[in-house]
Structure formats: C-alpha cells, structure tokens
A and B are shown apart, each in its own frame.
Chain A
Amino acid sequence: MNILVCISSVPDTTSKINFTENDSKFDENGIQFVINPYDEFGLTKAVMLKEQNGAKVTAIIVGESSVEPVIRKALAIGADQAVRINMKPLDSFSTAKEISNYVSENPFDLIIAGKESSDYNGGAVPGIIADMLNIPFVNACNGLEIEGNEVTLNREIDGGIEKIKASLPIIIGGQKGLVEESELRIPNMRGIMTARSKPLNIVEANNPMTMSKSIQFEKPAAKGECKMVSSDNIDQLVNMLQNEAKVI
C-alpha cells in the first residue's frame, strides 16, 4: 500500500506571533518551525500502518528550501521518502493543486493530511485535493482501520462520532484520536541518522493561480485589567457577571 502524508511547516505552538512589512507578513524571525500538530497524528498513523501491514510512506510538503528540516523530521519519524514541491505556499487552492498534480502522476491508496494547519487555519487543502482527484474525503477523522481495500473511519461530529465505510483510494483530514498523544513518535538517534540517507525529491512547481490573498494582520485588542474577586465574595462575582458583563 502506498500512503502519502501531507506535511505543513508551522510555527511551534508556543510561539508569540508578530508581523512585519506594515503588518502584511508573518514575522519568521526567531520562530521555531515544526510539523503541523494535526499532521503529526496522521504521520504516526501512517508509520503504524506500515509496521502492521507493510506500506510505503511518502511525506510531501509544499515549500521553499527553508522547510527541509521539517520534512527531514518526518523521515526521522518513519516516512520512507519525502517530496518537496518547490513553491512558497500562498493559498489553499494553489497548494492543493500542486499536491493533486503530483498524485495524478504518482497514485496513492491513502492520503493523510491534517484537518487544518495551526498557522492559517484554512482547513481547505485536503477537501480541495479530494475534489480535484474525485476521491472520497473524510474530515476531522479520529479513527481509521484498513482491511484489504476497505476502510472504516470515524469522524468527529457535534457531540459524538460518525462511522463511515469506504474503499481506497481515500483522503482524510486527521486529528487527535487517529493515534493518541502518547503514541506520537519522537525521532530517535537512529531515525535521525537514517533520515539523512532517505530520498528527498524536489519537484518544481507549476505555479498555479491563487484565489485568495492576505492583505494585513492585526492582533486582537488587548483585554482590560482582570477584576479580582475574593473567594469569600462569590456573590459579587455572580452579580458582576449578571449585571455588569450581562452574560448570565
């Protein structure tokens, strides 16, 4: 089985966010980039499927050469090979278009992406790929079992889960539950060493059209001072929530 894992390079979740060039661009200065947390669940799931049933796992990233440490980390965690499409990802549509072009020429049975990236939170790339390739799509996927050509999936819905049966090929937008937090793999020394010799293919982009464009960023307005209430006067807190904030 051939599994493709789509990786996005995002700022570490502890990063403080700043903008540059008149607040028109994200300031990458001093930022540590990591594998998008949602993609990490999918990558680990792919490696586990490989260990259980045998599979070839390819990690793909759309980005300039600066994202290579992130895709190398995917190799260190257990992907067999990596592909970097050499283009700055400008919007969801052009990113999805590049990945679907690659998959049209190099078919996969299972494509795993994250349900969204933790930077721009667009959540659109896997769904657009699904449509371009005309394959089934399950988002917010938090469970996946494969038997032969049949896939059983869970997806999160409001207040619960929905169970779905489908046939390969399929694309999912993954999240926690695909594997547990405790099952996430941390690259060990051997993984890091072998990652250096695993193939990383660089594919030139077709530079497809973009549909949306960032113009400017701002930070949410700062909150006022926190009003402290003594734990002996909870009646005051309730009074303020009812009459001042008017939220209860």
Chain B
Amino acid sequence: MSILVYAESWEGRFRKSTYEAASYANQLANDLDTDLIAVSFGNIDESELSKLGEYGVSKIFSYSNVTKSDNNNASILLAKHAEDSKAIIFANTFSAKMIAPRLSSKLKAGLLSNVISTILNTENFTFQRQSFSSKAIEKVSVSTEKVIITISPNAFEIKNSTTNCVITKNDANFENQFTVIGSETNTGKISLSEAEIVISAGRGLKGPENWGMIEELAELLNAATACSKPVSDIGWRPHSEHVGQTGKAVAPNLYIAVGISGAIQHLAGVNSSKVMVAINTDPEAAFFKAADYGVIGDAFDVVPKLIEEIKKIKN
C-alpha cells in the first residue's frame, strides 16, 4: 500500500503548491501508516527531484518526455503507479484539473476537489472541501477503494520530513491526443493562485491607466495583482486577473481590495483569504462587513500612503 502524490513541475522546477501537496500526502501516509511515492512529468534534474525527499517522498518516478498538458497519458502513467495506492493527491492546479478526473475514471476512484481538511474518517475516506464557491464547507465521503484528492492552494503548511528518496527515471512512448503548439506566459508575474499576498482593484480606480500604483504596491509586497469582474468585463484588466465566483477563487494570507464594493459574487471567491483589507470611499460598501481591516478613503489618496509606509518597513 502507498499514498501517491503528483509532483507537478514548471520549467523543471517544483513550486510551493507541489510541496504543499507532498506535505499533505505525507501526513496522510502517516495517518494510514504507509509510504509516500511521487510521479512527475517533464524534464527535471536530479537535484530538483531529490528535494521531494525533504517532504517524506521515498520513491519518485520521473517521466521526462511526458508533458502535464497531455492529460490522457499523464493519467495512464499515474494509474499504473497508483495500483497499490489508497489515495492519490494533487495540488489543485490547471493541469491537475485535467488529469485528476481522467484518473478518477481510469481507477474507478472517487474524486474530491478543493479539499481543505486532513482525513476525518479513515474507514470511509471523509474529508471537508470548499463548495458553493467558498460560501459553504462540505463534508464528503467516498465509497470507492481509492480516493483522489485535489487540495486547495495555501490551505496546508509545507512540513519538512526528510526521507531517503530513490529516483527512477523512465521514458514513455505514447501517442498524444493533441499537440501543444505554443504558449504565452507573463513569466515575471507571481501566480495568482499561489500568491501569499494579493492586491486587487475595482472600478474605484476609474481607468486602466491608474493601475500603476496597484502594481507598485504588489511589487513591494511580492504580491499578485487581481481585479473585480466589472473591471475585467470592460477590458481594463485581463480575464486571468478576475477573482470571484465566475473567475478565480483565491486564498492568500492577505487580500487587499481597493475600490471594490464587495458584491456577494466577489466575496465568494476571496473569503477564504486569511486577512482582508478593504479600501473604499463608500462607508456603506459591503466589503467592510467581510474585511478584517477597513479604510474609508479614496484609492488615489490611500494607496500612495500605503506604498510609502510599506517602503519604510521594508527598508
């Protein structure tokens, strides 16, 4: 028996969400008194692979010539290594959302996404997950022999647990169901789903030309930038920045909302944030009911002051 973690990589590197998934899987392996193994795709060198040993992974199977986009082959390989696994753990990334459902079908294993608890009942695999766009916490159980879990980002700590880790490199020669012909990424930016701090702005900023101060604040705090739905709908900011019920759900340690009124759909996507700050000219803005800290004031007055004060503590 074992627990299997999918160790996702980006350009040859593991990221925070990979270590969160490994730490979570290691905890589950301890709870079920079994070993933790990992599968990774893409070209990753040995020193990077061996880092997984610091989080309890005892065996890694690395397939350098399989891409994570190729969800069919990824799920075939994961299914092969999960033959003896009770649970398969993913961080809830874009690729995981393609691979995990296919794996669920292949292994006939119940899939629980957006999980936010450790195992509550080992007999019938009971966990808590986010549901109704974070408006509810749902307790769910799985009736199958194996369970597949995708964990919410930033919901679990990264915990060191150094183990002797054996690396096995393999090649797989499968036909792809599709061809990746290119990608466009803004590499300098911090990923919104993994960011520990998010600076988000809404219509209160009056126009796209005023986002400079939001970006400056984000850079100072090593934060990602986000926006409200109306702002992405009118094209002031890209869709990928839209957080809320029909955009992305985020759960950073700190969410600063500038000039966002706090519609129920927006709050649904952000209320898992640990601490929220609202800055708004309208004292009646709904965001003040949800936030931990509030400032009634104009963004053009408050944000530059905030930048100055943060510069002071950063020096």
Contacts and interface: CB of A to CB of B under 8 A. Distances in A.
B202 to A, nearest CB: 15
- List 3 tightest A-B contacts by C-beta distance, closest first: A127-B101, A231-B297, A160-B185
B181 to A, nearest CB: 5
Interface stretch (B29-37, B57-65, B161-169, B237-245): B237-245
Contact of A241 (B112, B232, B272, B275): B275
Contacts of A92: 101, 104, 111
B264 interface: yes
Interface stretch (A12-20, A42-50, A62-70, A193-201): A12-20
B292 A245 contact: yes
A187 interface: no
Contacts of A115: 97
Interface residues of B, number: 99
Interface of A: 11, 13-14, 16-17, 19, 26, 37-38, 91-93, 96, 115, 118-128, 130-132, 135-140, 142, 152, 155-166, 170, 173, 176-177, 180-182, 210-220, 223-224, 226-231, 234-235, 237-238, 240-242, 245, 247-248
A127 to B, nearest CB: 3
A112 B291 CA distance: 37
B265 A13 contact: yes
A228 B295 contact: yes
Identify whether the interface residues of B are mostly helix, strand, loop, or mixed.
Answer: mixed
A135 B177 contact: yes
B157 to A, nearest CB: 15
A140 B94 CA distance: 7
Contacts of A163: 180-184
B171 interface: no
Contact of B290 (A38, A158, A165, A223): A223
Contact of A159 (B97, B185, B290, B302): B185
B205 interface: no
Contacts of A126: 101
Contacts of B294: 226-229
A140 B96 CA distance: 11
Identify whether the interface residues of A are mostly helix, strand, loop, or mixed.
Answer: mixed
Contact of B136 (A19, A229, A247): A19
Given A157-B94, A238-B306, A132 B105 contact: yes
A92 B177 CA distance: 23
A13 B110 contact: no
Nearest to B110: A211
B293 A131 contact: no
A91 to B, nearest CB: 8
Given A127-B100, A131-B75, A229-B293, A181 B179 contact: no
Nearest to A134: B72
B178 A128 contact: no
B132 A38 contact: no
Interface stretch (B19-27, B47-55, B186-194): B186-194
Given A234-B302, A238-B309, A159 B295 contact: no
Interface centre among A128, A159, A214, by most chain B C-beta atoms within 10 angstroms, is A159
A121 B137 CA distance: 12
Interface string B121-152: 00000100011111111111111100000000
A136 B178 contact: yes
A14 B29 CA distance: 40
Contact of A38 (B131, B246, B298): B246
Contacts of A136: 72, 177-178
A237 B295 contact: yes
Contacts of A119: 131-133
B110 A212 contact: yes
A221 to B, nearest CB: 9
